[in-house]
Amino acid sequence: MEAINQVFALFRLNYHNQYYAAYPDAEQLKQIKKLWLESLADYPVEQILRGARHAIENSEYLPTLHRMLECCREGIAGLGLPAPYDAYLEACGARSPRSAQSWSHPAVYLAGRDSDWFFLANNPERLTWPVFRQHYQDYCTRVLRGETLAVPEEPALEQHSPAPLSPEEQLAELKKLRETAKL
């Protein structure tokens, strides 16, 4: 809610006359803020604020909710991050081993891992989407702050091919097996 209040404060400062013409009374403004809060819930706070600044810098008109959503999407896409719900679908559709998959962005993998792959695969969307969304928003925030994320390397299996046993060693091993089978 604090982010939405900050956005509207930025709009009030930058679009003074348009702002007061669009939002003439406090009750209407309260309802509009609630709508914006619900519509922008998929985005981290930093992205919402970045989207508001983008809208201010690129338009002389007070942005609509639709335009604000576009500004938030453009900012995330510019960093290589998919939209939150697209990231969720990508994570849910990934096969094992997941770290070996080709991910659109490491944040998608990391959010899926933190959400628990088993949980994502075995529960309905109404339970898994909010959990994934929160983890993804956290990783998006880290990317927005300049952090570089990476998918951890899958540990390679040991490549050990033992030398074959000599015929005498094979007979000795067979004898041991027979003795343990008698017990």
DSSP string, 145-158: TTPPP-PPPPPPPP
The residues, ordered by sequence, that sit 6+ positions from 24 with a Cβ below 8 Å of its Cβ are none
Please report, for the chain, the start and end positions of each structural domain, with discontinuous segments joined by +. 2-78, 84-144
- Rounded CA gap, 148 and 10, in Å? 29
For residues 105 and 81, the answer to whether their CB atoms sit within 8 Å is yes
**Distance from chain centroid for Cα 114:** 10
Residue 156 pLDDT: 62
Tens digits of per-residue pLDDT, 162-176? Answer: 788 889 988 998 898
Tell me the one-letter amino acid at 104: S
Give CA separation, 17 vs 4, 41, 55, in Å.
19, 28, 17
For the chain, strand residue ranges (E) read none
Q: How confident is the model at residue 144 (pLDDT cuts 50, 70, 90)?
A: confident
As a CATH number, domain 2-78 is 1.10.8
Tens digits of per-residue pLDDT, 16-71? Answer: 899 999 998 889 999 999 999 998 887 888 888 888 988 898 889 999 999 998 88
- Rounded CA gap, 30 and 52, in Å? 18
Average pLDDT over residues 7-21: 91
Residue 105 pLDDT: 94
Residue 3 pLDDT: 87
pTM higher than 0.75, yes or no?
no
- Rounded CA gap, 113 and 98, in Å? 9
